[in-house]
A and B are shown apart, each in its own frame.
Chain A
Amino acid sequence: MIGIVDYGMGNLLSVYNAFDYLGSPVTICKHPEDLAHVDRIIIPGVGAFKDCIDKINKTGFSEALNQEVLKNAKPTMGICLGMQVMGTRSFEGGEFMGLGWFDADIVRLTPADSNLRVPNIGWNTIKYNKEVPLFKGLPEDPDFYLVHSYYMKANDPKDVIAIYDYTYDVTASVLKDNIFATQFHPEKSQDFGLQILQNFINWNPR
């Protein structure tokens, strides 16, 4: 059973529908204690970092997540803002601490070309590490859908498993032990996105 963390930022339907479409049992976890009953965890997220981490902390999800993700090592996936909250701290609208699962700062996109817009909204070509099982079955240079103004700047290059070019390398995906995350939206990236979600369903991290 896959559990989607619902900490009150809304719009979980697309992620839910994608797993349902793939035929995987999936449930929305409205309460921190629900996480104990699922095998895999999805942390979605759209909006601002501060609102997101405040809600995760206030609802008691941060303790439950640390228990299930770090201690019980359940396969876990963050999407977009759900990836960013896994970092150490964010500079979006101030300076705020994240869950700290990745040694990384969340910083603003600063493309060198003034014609490039921020937020970056749209399809971008991703370069990925072909040895990672979560990317199995993807073609060379697949496109994924992104919507973001901030991104995760990882201090340990080993954590970064995919990037895209926005006049410089922007982190598109990270992986550490049982924790996987994408800045792009697999649930909005048609069949390549569904492929990644299927790979996550099948994933057995060591």
Chain B
Amino acid sequence: MSKKRLIPKLQLKTALAHPNKMVLVVTKQFNGVIEIGDPVSQAKIFQAQAADELVFINIDRNNKEIKRLSAIINNVSEEIFMPITVGGGIKSSDDFRELLNNGADKISINTSAFNHPELITETSEKFGAQCVVVSIDFKKDEEGEYRVYINGGQTKTSYHPLDWALRAEKLGAGELLLCNISHDGMREGLDLDIIKSISENSTIPIIASGGCGLAQHFVEGFLKGKADAVAAGSFFAHRDQNFMQTRSQIKNAGINIRMHH
């Protein structure tokens, strides 16, 4: 039986003080960016704490250069021996190849998948469905209707997240990474309704994210949201969080997660 997974989500952006360097950041509702450190050293800390996987997303709106991103993944892969998903600005199967050759295991696509759904099918056939993670950002619009947003949450689409999720699955996605933009960085819990409806209606693994601030929020994501994995950014980035203690709390709530040693 596969265990439920806990996944630190590492968001990358050009450093304010060093335009050539990418740093790890946390966000609130996709804004309010705070720089928190070096992605490679943080990844090593997560490995020491036995995180199950890592997700790296380039959220820089001005620099989507794949070479720059793949250089970071190449560094990470020298010392990190766990599954790595990479996303942010990936547009083609050449971009996939470049990142996979530099140590990525799975590629997350969002805006490009939405604008060019055939990219999902093409890459799924070429690299295997297990390699294609479709990332879906959503929130309630002014009228209170759930809608998918693309371009880093800036552009509203006409799709309901469930509809887009099921379409992406049909096109060949191997996994879905869900995030409610309004919950991002707020540490008040996941959007359980949408996660649950997508989990119950699809057959591929679901990674829920956006809003974890307590161990209890992970537990809810697994039990109520029926997610296969929960990813979090600011939760894991906070230095006061004891990862091992969080794992124990989640395990004690009856969730089948990996306990190291």
> Which residues of A pack against B, CB within 8 Å?
10-11, 13-14, 17-18, 20-21, 46-48, 116-117, 119-125, 139, 143, 145-147, 165-167, 187-191, 193-194
Question: Whole-angstrom distance between the alpha carbons of A119 and B131 in the complex?
Answer: 11
Interface residues of A: mostly helix, strand, loop or mixed? Answer: mixed
The answer, yes or no, to whether B248 is at the interface (CB within 8 Å) is no
A119 to B105, Cβ gap below 8 A?
A: no
A147 to B130, Cβ gap below 8 A?
A: yes
Chain B interface bracket (under 10, 10 to 19, 20 to 34, 35 or more): 35 or more
Chain B hits for A145, CB < 8 A = 82-83
A-B contact list, 26 entries, CB within 8 Å: A10-B97, A10-B100, A11-B100, A14-B103, A17-B79, A17-B81, A46-B127, A46-B128, A116-B2, A117-B2, A117-B228, A119-B129, A119-B130, A119-B174, A122-B52, A122-B205, A122-B229, A123-B5, A124-B2, A139-B261, A145-B82, A145-B83, A167-B1, A189-B81, A190-B50, A190-B82
Q: Do A117 and B204 contact each other (CB < 8 Å), given the known contacts A188-B105, A190-B82? A: yes
Interface residues of B: mostly helix, strand, loop or mixed? Answer: loop
Closest to B5 in A: A122
Contact of A47 among B2, B101, B127, B258 (CB under 8 A): B127
The answer, yes or no, to whether B112 is at the interface (CB within 8 Å) is no
A124 to B1, Cβ gap below 8 A?
A: yes
Closest to B128 in A: A47
A13 to B103, Cβ gap below 8 A?
A: yes
A14 to B77, Cβ gap below 8 A?
A: yes
Question: Whole-angstrom distance between the alpha carbons of A13 and B75 in the complex?
Answer: 11
